[in-house]
């Protein structure tokens, strides 16, 4: 098994571009209004749903190969924080120097954002998309605890408990109409089922076992789908959920190798930085185009292209060099190579 799975890179790239198109078309129109809009992509926000499922798969894969806690911490820190800190600084400067209606923040807010969990610390995020990173950090913490107490091999029970906890949360909200927000974030009660699905898909692909164990994994995935449909009661939620979960089933049974091509893999490579730099910065740039009287037909694709150029530059000139530097200074002590327990399409 290789360190990177090309299909997942493609998933990341497609999820990222979906979110970008959603924000630069639908979301921008909701907040500021386009002069005219010939293209709308309201379903693009489901790219975040896909991201969380991918994260569940990848983080369980990483921890399955981890021998030392410091290896996991260094690998995650070096992967996420350098590019994120640059994004916070660039976004802050763009908003302060050029301006973005309805967006202001203090120096304290900016500093707290550098932790990646500002809302848990009582501050707003400096960019609308950063809220997802808080859930990622909480998931990493949660999974690190599971790894530390050596429960990775009991992960199905952990997943069941997590899904039941989400059920309690939904019942509490339905009966009492309230659940402490910070506890919701800390326990990932709004999105835990998506991380759970990613974990279970990993187990089905690389640690498949015959009989009731595999059946239980499929049943837990069904519960995850049901929770997704309950928690997102929009008309299209059933079809979108079916598509996203189906994409993972096709992936784990090796039916999606045809999607692996250089452009899509490249998009996956820059997906994280593209996600970080497209929202407020993209809005600022789009506003400048509109002030010059540029049509949305040209302005929106141009902003997408500019954000991709910025993402590429940050990926190759900041993210990757910083990752190499950090891992050279704090070298990883090695990962266990996990061999798939099955053959063929399973």
Q: Which helix (H) or strand (E) holds 207?
A: none
Burial of 337 (C-beta count, 10 Å sphere; 0-12/13-18/19+): exposed
- SS3 call for 66: strand
CA-CA distance, 28 to 46, in Å (whole number)? 16
What are the distances in angstroms from CA 247 to CA 64, 127, 202? 23, 29, 13
pLDDT for res 286: 97
Q: What is the pTM of this model?
A: 0.93
Burial class (CB in 10 A: 0-12, 13-18, 19+), 200: buried
Give one word for 70, left, alpha or beta, with left for phi > 0 and alpha for psi -120 to 50: alpha
Distance CA(323)–CA(259), nearest Å, equals 28
- pLDDT grade for 346, boundaries at 50, 70 and 90: very low
Q: Is 118 buried (19+), middle (13-18) or exposed (0-12) by CB count in 10 A?
A: buried
Dist. CA 251–CA 253, nearest whole Å: 5
Rounded CA separation 47/345 (Å)? 27
Euclidean distance between CA atoms 218 and 42, whole angstroms: 30
pLDDT digits (tens, 9 = 90+) for 224-281: 999 999 999 888 989 999 999 999 999 999 999 999 999 999 999 999 999 999 999 9
Tens digit of each residue's pLDDT (9 = 90 or more) over 80-119:
999 999 999 999 999 999 999 888 889 999 999 999 999 9
Q: For the chain, which residues make up each domain, given as ranges?
A: 6-329
What is the share, in percent, of the chain residues with pLDDT greater than 70?
Answer: 95
């Amino acid at each position: 098994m290789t360190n990177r799975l090309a299909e997942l890179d493609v998933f990341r790239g497609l999820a990222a571009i979906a979110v970008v198109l959603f924000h630069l078309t639908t979301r921008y129109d909701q907040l500021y209004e386009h002069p005219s809009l010939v293209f709308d992509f309201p379903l693009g926000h489901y790219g975040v749903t896909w991201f969380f499922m991918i994260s569940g798969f990848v983080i369980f894969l990483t921890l399955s190969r981890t021998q030392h806690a410091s290896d996991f911490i260094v690998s995650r820190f070096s992967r996420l924080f350098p590019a994120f800190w640059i994004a916070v600084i660039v976004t802050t400067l763009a908003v302060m120097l050029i301006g973005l209606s309805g967006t202001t923040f203090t120096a304290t807010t900016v500093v707290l954002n550098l932790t990646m969990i500002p809302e848990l610390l009582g501050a707003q995020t400096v960019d609308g998309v950063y809220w997802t990173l808080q859930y990622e950090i909480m998931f990493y913490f949660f999974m690190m605890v599971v790894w530390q107490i050596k429960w990775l091999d009991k992960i199905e029970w952990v997943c069941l408990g997590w899904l039941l906890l989400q059920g309690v949360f939904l019942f509490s909200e339905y009966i009492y109409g309230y659940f402490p927000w910070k506890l919701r974030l800390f326990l990932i009660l709004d999105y835990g089922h998506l991380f759970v699905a990613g974990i279970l898909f990993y187990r089905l692909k690389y640690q498949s076992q015959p009989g009731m164990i595999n059946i239980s994994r499929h049943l837990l995935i069904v519960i995850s789908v049901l929770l997704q449909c309950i928690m997102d009661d929009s008309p299209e939620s059933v079809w979108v959920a079916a598509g996203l979960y189906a994409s993972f089933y096709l992936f784990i049974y090796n039916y999606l190798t045809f999607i692996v091509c250089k452009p899509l893999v490249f998009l996956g490579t820059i997906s994280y930085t593209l996600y970080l730099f497209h929202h407020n910065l993209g809005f600022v740039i789009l506003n400048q185009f509109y002030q010059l009287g540029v049509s949305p037909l040209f302005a929106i694709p141009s902003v997408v292209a500019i954000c991709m150029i910025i993402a590429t530059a940050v990926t190759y000139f900041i993210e990757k060099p910083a990752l190499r530097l950090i891992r050279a200074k704090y070298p990883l002590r090695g990962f266990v190579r996990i061999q798939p327990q099955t053959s063929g399409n399973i």
